[in-house]
Structure formats: structure tokens, C-alpha cells
Amino acid sequence: MLEAIGLTKKYRDHTALNNLNLKVGSGEVFCLLGQNGAGKTTTINLFLGFTTASSGQARVNGLVVNHQNGETKQFLAYVPEVVMLYAHLSSIENLDFFSRIAGYTYKINELEEFLLQAGLQPDAFHKRVGHYSKGMRQKVGIAIAVAKNASVILMDEPTSGLDPKATDEFSEIVKQLSKDGRSIFMATHDIFNAVNVGTRIGIMRQGSLIHTLDAKDISAVDLQRLYLETI
């Protein structure tokens, strides 16, 4: 569903991403680790078409982002570190609004089902999201991604600032999304969560992908050791 082929991004004399090659298949959870400035967010922005590659290609479902940006967006959803919602609207109203922008119109009970699937408690559905915790906002963001029928969900530091309970709830939601066949590409600093939910894990340093490994083949302790040795 996602593919980078020699993907490179330069800003004058600074190389933010250097010759990235990777594939993320259907139902896979790819967790990308690295320090701030390693190139994780740049990679996400290139797949989303927020910035243009200096060379190489970012592909979504076989389509080249630079050439077919409008077409690729139909397959994608983005859950940033801080999910931007309209604070004066409820989660139901936000979900309805963003679904309509994506071309989908749902009944109230259908919107409620999306929020339930994302793990939001029913008593929060009609409360203004301005009063939500970060974890609750993340769940609304995931509900929006599911409602727009995205087959690929890109996430940037989604567990940053979440307490252990909220992180565990988030992990279970990601696992279910994977079981449903959605591809997840997650930039993260959370080594334990990467091992817990990831199918594959990549480690970046200074814009280059240094390691790619299967999550099932490494423990959190060994991954932490490898990460520290790499950066």
C-alpha cells in the first residue's frame, strides 16, 4: 500500500531524507523509530503530499504521490501527534463534518458506531471536544480515518503524552485496524509500543533508514539496545 523508492528530500545543503526504500503491505503496522530530526515526519509528509520529493518516489497503492496527489489522498488518513478538531463541536459533529468533506454522509447511529470502534465512551459522544483528553482526541481522529474508508493510516507520535492506560487502549485499536486489513505507518519514540503493535520496525538516523526488522524477532529490551547503538 505504501512504497518509497529512492525517496530523498533536501533543503539546500541539508538532507532530511536520504534514499529511502521501503514497502508497507496491506494489514501491516510499520513503526519508524528515530530521534527528532531523523526524517520520520519528513517521510510522512512526503507520502501525504505535504512536501515534494527532491528525487525518488513516494507511492500509495501504486500511484506516485508527486504525479497523482489527488488520487492518492482517497486512500490515506492522517493522525498527527495532536489531532486538530473543532473545540466547540462534539465528537459526533466533528466526525460528521470531516466525513462529509471526504464525501461520506452517515446517519447518527453510524457515526456513533465509528466512535465506538475507536474506543470512545458513549457518554462523550455529544460533549464538546475542547474538554477531551489527548487520548480521547486520538480516538476521534481514528474514527475519522475509518469513516473516510482509508486503507492506509499515517500516524505521527500518536502515543506521545498518553498515560499507560490510554497507550494500551490505543495499541488495541491499532491491532484491530491491522486485522481489518488497514495499513498503519507510525512514526514513534515509543519502543515498547513499537514491539507491541508493530509488524516491522525501522530505525532511522540522520535521514537514513539504518535497520529494518520483524517485530516478532526482537524484544523491547533488545530493540532499545539496538536503537541506542544506532543513534
* pLDDT tens track for 56-89: 999 999 999 988 768 888 899 999 988 999 999 9
**How large a percentage of the chain has pLDDT more than 70?**
100
* Average pLDDT of the residues in 153-162: 89
pLDDT, tens digit (0-9, with 9 covering 90-100), for 162-183: 888 888 888 998 999 999 999 9
d(CA 9, CA 7): 7
d(CA 59, CA 47): 7
Question: Is pTM beyond 0.85 here?
Answer: yes
Helix (H) or strand (E) holding 139: helix 134-147
* Bridge partners, residue 2, by sequence: 24, 60
Helix (H) or strand (E) holding 183: strand 183-188
* Average pLDDT of the residues in 16-30: 96
d(CA 215, CA 129): 35
Task: Judge whether residue 109 has pLDDT over 90.
Answer: yes
d(CA 208, CA 113): 41
Q: According to the model, what pLDDT value does residue 215 have?
A: 95
Q: Grid coordinates representing 17?
A: 531524507
Strands 29-33 and 183-188: parallel
pLDDT, tens digit (0-9, with 9 covering 90-100), for 189-216: 999 999 999 999 999 999 999 999 999 9
